[in-house]
Structure 1
Amino acid sequence: MILAPLHDDLCLVYGPTDDLSEEVAEALALIELDLDGPAA
């Protein structure tokens, strides 16, 4: 995933509980769900 390195960098700089780090993690989760297709 192209945004995963961004999330890794944000976690290193700001920590995993930073608002921006959490927003990127949520966006990645949504993108991954969308790529997996509709739920069965």
Structure 2
Amino acid sequence: MSETPAGQTARLWISWILVAILLGYGIVQTAITAAKLFTS
């Protein structure tokens, strides 16, 4: 059942969302660190 197009699409979306969250988190952390360096 997991080989249905819908199942594959759902897994693809989940993997992309996880990647986006990780990238976004890293960018936010970098921005916060840069802001602290520039403001101090």
TM-score for both structures, normalised by structure 1:
0.55
Higher relative contact order (CA closer than 8 Å, sequence separation 6+)? 1
Unaligned runs of 5+ in 2: 27-40
Which residues of structure 1 form unaligned runs of 5+? 1-14
Alignment RMSD, CA only? 1.8
The structure that has the greater radius of gyration is: 2
Taking the aligned partners of 2:20 and 2:13, their CA distance within structure 1 comes to: 11
- CA shift for structure 1 position 18: 0.3
Count of residues paired in the alignment = 25
